[in-house]
């Protein structure tokens, strides 16, 4: 069965997340239903990362094994035809090597977190940003972010339901820039713990508000205790923006 690599964009609002669940609509189920529409077979679609409910993607990567050869354009266009009406789109399809695996072949993942930082809420992006009306100190947040870079035990930023075998990860990039009324937090690593990005963003917000200092971020990291770090930022502001192979 030939393998195809899919690059997928979606608005995660209203979905239970990537992974199939007993109840509720998932991104995976939407794609697998579209695959069934193409080839009349129930086949698994595997993603690079299992995004949570409400989390979005600009370039999620997935793979699927189809029963026969199709052109890449046919796969993309047929899946999008069967996805009509859903906030899920296959941007690109491409033939992949038999040993390509969307999850296990990945060597890096990039996330973007959007904070709308102004007094007025958003009329257009309520489900796509975290609205924080209080002023945030960008420089202090950026200094706090530097305390998290590198190879660490990130237990303080790990969800209790995380299934990773080890809390030790290497955070390659954690940058913050202001773009008009928004703060954009960008995180890059080979892989992340469950809720790690959202927990880091929630912690940095405390620094931006002046409730914490950058050194408090370092202390939270060293504690290796989830209770010592900040709150979990809402799913609405988080985007998977790319996967490296």
Kindly list the catalytic residues.
52
Nearest 5 degrees, angle CA 89-CA 176-CA 160? Answer: 70
Instruction: Kindly state the helix (H) or strand (E) to which residue 139 belongs, with its residue range.
Output: helix 138-146
Task: Tell me the angle at which helices 138-146 and 196-208 cross, rounded to the nearest 10 degrees.
Answer: 130
CB distance 130 to 115 below 8 Å: yes
Residues facing 168 on adjacent strands: 153
> What number of other Cβ atoms are within 10 A of residue 142's Cβ?
19
Residues 162, 105: Cα–Cα separation, whole Å: 21
């Amino acid at each position: 069965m030939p393998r195809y690599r899919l690059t997928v964009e979606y608005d995660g609002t209203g979905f239970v997340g990537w992974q199939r669940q007993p109840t509720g609509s998932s991104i995976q189920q939407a794609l697998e239903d579209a695959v069934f529409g193409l080839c009349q077979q129930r086949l698994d679609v595997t993603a690079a990362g299992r995004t949570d409910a409400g989390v979005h993607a600009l370039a999620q990567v997935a793979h699927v094994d189809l029963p026969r050869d199709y052109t890449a354009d046919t796969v993309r266009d047929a899946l999008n035809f069967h996805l009509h009406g859903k906030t899920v789109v296959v941007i690109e399809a491409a033939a992949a090597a038999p040993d390509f695996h969307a999850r296990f072949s990945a060597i890096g993942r990039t996330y973007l977190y959007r904070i709308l930082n102004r007094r007025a809420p958003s009329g257009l992006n309520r489900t796509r940003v975290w609205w924080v009306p209080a002023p945030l100190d960008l420089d202090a947040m950026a200094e706090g972010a530097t305390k998290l870079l590198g190879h660490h035990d990130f237990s303080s930023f790990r969800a209790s339901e995380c299934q990773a075998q080890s809390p030790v990860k290497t955070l390659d990039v954690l940058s913050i820039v202001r773009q008009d009324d928004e703060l954009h937090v960008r995180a890059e690593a080979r892989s992340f713990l469950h809720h790690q990005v959202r927990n880091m963003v929630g912690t940095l917000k405390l620094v931006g508000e002046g409730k914490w200092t950058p050194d408090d971020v370092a202390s939270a990291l060293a504690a290796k205790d989830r209770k010592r770090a900040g709150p979990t930022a809402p799913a609405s502001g988080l985007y998977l923006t790319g996967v490296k192979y």
